[in-house]
Structure 1
């Protein structure tokens, strides 16, 4: 089934009336993009307002360094190209398995100012406009230390943007709203809803689940105009399933069941898959004889962008830039941009 004409008509729908807020389009750029041959030169800088580089690791002594030193040269290029294209570059510190060091830093009166100083020095030496804290697996016991870390960075970085990724699925009691409300904005990351623990197929991410998560974050006292929901640019595949609500036999095609959005669009050019939009969850599902794929496509991503715009939130983020489709008519970055930044030229460049 060729769904590109349908996707194009949906993407080019009338953009929501512009408001003061809701104009950020954030793209995550992880260091491992180099291993899939996606480099800073491949980013469509006019499609985004901010790039979040993932990233840096915090040492137990309060130091900061590239999580992968092999990406240092790429980062230099990223800094220059972001500057040339007037895109803010935020450097993410932390990530999976770095939470122990972040906790040690945040809970120490000696290490915390050292860490802030080291972040500031690193940005001065290497480039980048600001920093993002990515402290994962937070618990309520970490709430005080986490707030201290955020406040120390906001106070110590001389007006440079400080942001954070939060994980509401783990519980909002790990976050203090007054600390989050001091940030430039807050990226709201949602856990995969569809895993092998599910006996039957459910959407992995949906406009409905995004809305519910954002409502929970606002309900915890975080200012709505700071929120940036993170959209996954990948689908998850399930062998033997015949659609939502049906059983599966484990992961299907792709990298352990993960398939980038760009790859999905290639799959759907063939008649093998029937692709539909599930109105109840506001998500997409594709079914073939062999598998079911759950993903976010143009209709669901457009719904998220419309909500963000109408509610005056800060913007929308994508994870990650390397997985979007290069053709504007099916690009999810373009889908978001048409709602939040309709003045941008999203047409494909002539070869």
Structure 2
């Protein structure tokens, strides 16, 4: 084979492999979805490849429990519906305020062995396809403990998914390439950039900061084909704000200033809000006489999906599936799917 043809063939193959890697669409299903009347039957399973149930709670002795025992029947329904729809079900372990228990488990060989054994039993008995470790508020001091726990999970589980969350903007030190590259994939979270304490309005999330965070992880030696950015399906409102860079008077409409994406679409049906896409941050903003809302909409999420596809990342995750709009034409999950899984039929079923 001539050298020029050989090089061209390799280049084409590399591009094909890069694009093929971006095949995951992961939806988080938090246990509290039941309180907003969203159940496993309401998930549009054709829009996702994986569902992450969030989250099992660990105790310091290595035991595990549902955060709310009333959600156990919902989990069983979720497991059955995932299996029926050929969607992988991964159980997330940890979450908010669980870092103390995880640190205690990792610091004890006996507790870690119990934890891993309990998790293997739980996965086997509850029809899960894998596990995800969600160690939040992690610091450089936790690096050794995190590595110890992840290595124990990888060594113990065979033939199932072993994933982890990652918070690179909080700390990079715990996430060494040696450990992370052993995993099935990694869900990369970017913390909210906008809060009531912020003096001026900035995007809460956007395609630009997501791209920069993914590059930071890749520059640390973590394989791009394992990295999955997490997109938030909610907006945040602030009274008196008139645009990016303006001041505000605290949180606006919604539950403590939070608005699910599906509710935003109803708000924007009226002429009260002017909605625009900010190309610099690759995020959306909606401004009315009373407030401004910062959120990720179809243009910004499409930008994330295109970046993932073009740069060989693993896919896109969303937090969470209950907050998407049910109409395909304004669904953010469908927007992701059209980029990463264009062969799927996303049309609404006829009634």
Q: TM class by shorter-chain length?
A: over 0.9
Name the CA distance, whole Å, in 1 between partners of 2:161 and 2:148: 17
Name the CA distance, whole Å, in 2 between partners of 1:308 and 1:107: 36
Residue 55 (str. 1) matches residue 85 (str. 2) = no
Query: Which residue number corresponds to residue 331 of structure 1?
Result: 331
Gaps of 5+ in 1: 1-15
Using the TM superposition, give the Cα deviation of residue 159 of structure 1 relative to its aligned residue in structure 2, in angstroms: 2.3
Summarize the alignment of residues 143-292 of structure 1 with structure 2, pairs less than 5 Å apart. 143-292=143-292
State the TM-score, normalized to the length of structure 2: 0.94
3-state DSSP class of the match of 1:173? coil
Query: Which residue number corresponds to residue 43 of structure 1?
Result: 43
Residue 141 (str. 1) matches residue 141 (str. 2) = yes
Answer yes or no: is the 8 Å Cα contact 1:140–1:175 preserved in 2: no
Using the TM superposition, give the Cα deviation of residue 67 of structure 1 relative to its aligned residue in structure 2, in angstroms: 1.3
Name the CA distance, whole Å, in 2 between partners of 1:158 and 1:174: 24
Name the CA distance, whole Å, in 2 between partners of 1:62 and 1:317: 28
Query: Which residue number corresponds to residue 72 of structure 2?
Result: 72
Name the CA distance, whole Å, in 1 between partners of 2:323 and 2:178: 34
Using the TM superposition, give the Cα deviation of residue 197 of structure 1 relative to its aligned residue in structure 2, in angstroms: 2.0
3-state DSSP class of the match of 2:217? helix
Name the CA distance, whole Å, in 2 between partners of 1:92 and 1:220: 25
Count, aligned residues? 336
Gaps of 5+ in 2: 1-14
Answer yes or no: is the 8 Å Cα contact 2:19–2:311 preserved in 1: no
Answer yes or no: is the 8 Å Cα contact 2:22–2:309 preserved in 1: yes
Answer yes or no: is the 8 Å Cα contact 2:147–2:174 preserved in 1: no
Name the CA distance, whole Å, in 1 between partners of 2:133 and 2:336: 24
State the TM-score, normalized to the length of structure 1: 0.94
Runs of 4+ in 1 over 2 A off after TM superposition: 16-19
Flag the structure with more relative contact order, 1 or 2, with Cα contacts below 8 A and sequence separation at least 6: 1
Aligned-residue Cα RMSD (Å) equals: 1.2
Using the TM superposition, give the Cα deviation of residue 200 of structure 1 relative to its aligned residue in structure 2, in angstroms: 0.8
Name the CA distance, whole Å, in 2 between partners of 1:266 and 1:84: 32
Residue 81 (str. 1) matches residue 72 (str. 2) = no
Name the CA distance, whole Å, in 2 between partners of 1:293 and 1:261: 11
Using the TM superposition, give the Cα deviation of residue 19 of structure 1 relative to its aligned residue in structure 2, in angstroms: 2.6
3-state DSSP class of the match of 1:20? helix
